[in-house]
Amino acid sequence: MKITEIFFSPSGTTKQVVDKIANSFEYESEVCDLLHFSENKEFTDDDIIIVGMPVFAGRIPETARDRLSKLSGNNTKAIAVANYGNAKVGDALLELVNLLKENNFDVTAAISTVSHHSIFDGVAVGRPDSADLEKLSEFGEKCVEKIESGESLQSEIPGNKPYVDHKQLPFTISCDVDKCVFCYDCVTVCPEKAIPDDDPAAIDLDICSRCTACIHICEENARRFTGEAFEAKKPVFESANSERKEVEYYL
């Protein structure tokens, strides 16, 4: 059998979570990074996939959903992971489980995990922490047992369908041209192609999903959220989401 880690991880934290779960398995593994991969791919009944998605305002990001929809299974065992920044999972985990089932994957288990918030950096600082990683290891071991026994997901996944509407955040991402070295890494990583090839200091905010990939890849710290809307929301959001939320899994 073979493990494929599938993730959409603009800030790197969802990948970290998927990696930790995958470490519980002793099979050969490969990676499918949906930030860069947007092609049709079919899996067999000998494959196992671990699919990690970040949560954007209670939903799977639209681009990530579109790219994941191009992957199909043949009763392929799947583990669903929704990774959020200590605010709310919303309908994202249910949406992910349903999408995998619709594409002929046999979902074995699902989990909602918590990581440092990618936009509001005062929320869930340092997570996943040691307690989270211990919980992920525990979940991974249970996934191994379930897959070896041939069992499918039995638990009900929280969430609602119809899902909550996708939201476009009003925040501005700006680039400090004095820091930018025009390496074009942000152009390459942007899944929406919102940064023009000839001007990496610019961004088309109408198509930008605020995924933060361009911010986190910039070694010069030239890109960041700015503007009145962001500055007003930041302390309110961080105060409202200061209480620790825990990893929850479903078997």
The position carrying tokens 């001007």 is 199
Tell me: do 136 and 176 sit in the same domain: no
Say what the pLDDT of residue 22 is.
97
E runs forming strands in the chain: 2-7, 28-33, 41-42, 47-54, 71-72, 76-84, 105-114, 172-175, 223-226, 248-250
* Packing angle of the helix pair 13-22, 130-149 (nearest 10 deg): 50
Tell me: do 195 and 101 sit in the same domain: no
Q: What is the pLDDT of residues 48-72, one digit of tens each?
A: 999 999 999 999 999 999 999 999 9
How much is the pTM?
0.95
Tell me: do 73 and 145 sit in the same domain: yes
Tell me: do 190 and 108 sit in the same domain: no
The CATH number of the domain holding residue 203 is 3.30.70.20
Tell me: do 146 and 180 sit in the same domain: no
Tell me: do 150 and 194 sit in the same domain: no
| Domains of the chain: total | 2
Asked whether residue 143 is assigned to any structural domain, the reply reads: yes
Asked whether residue 27 is assigned to any structural domain, the reply reads: yes
Backbone torsions φ then ψ of 125, nearest 5 degrees: -60, 135
Asked whether residue 238 is assigned to any structural domain, the reply reads: no
Tell me: do 135 and 179 sit in the same domain: no
Say what the pLDDT of residue 39 is.
94
Tell me: do 94 and 130 sit in the same domain: yes
Asked whether residue 234 is assigned to any structural domain, the reply reads: no
Tell me: do 150 and 192 sit in the same domain: no
Tell me: do 157 and 194 sit in the same domain: no
71-72 and 2-7 as β-strands: parallel, antiparallel, unpaired?
A: unpaired
- Rounded CA gap, 205 and 182, in Å? 19
The CATH number of the domain holding residue 23 is 3.40.50.360
- Count the alpha carbons within 13 Å of 24 in the hemisphere toward its beta carbon: 23
Domain that holds residue 48: 2-162+246-250
- Rounded CA gap, 175 and 20, in Å? 33
Q: Which long-range CB contacts under 8 A does 165-171 form with residues at least 24 apart?
A: 166/56, 166/57, 166/59, 166/62, 167/56, 167/57, 167/59, 168/209, 168/210, 169/57, 169/119, 169/210, 170/229, 171/119, 171/210, 171/225, 171/227, 171/229, 171/230, 171/233
Using 50 as the pLDDT threshold, list the residues of the chain that sit under it.
none
Q: What is the pLDDT of residues 198-218, one digit of tens each?
A: 999 999 999 999 999 999 999
Tell me: do 78 and 191 sit in the same domain: no
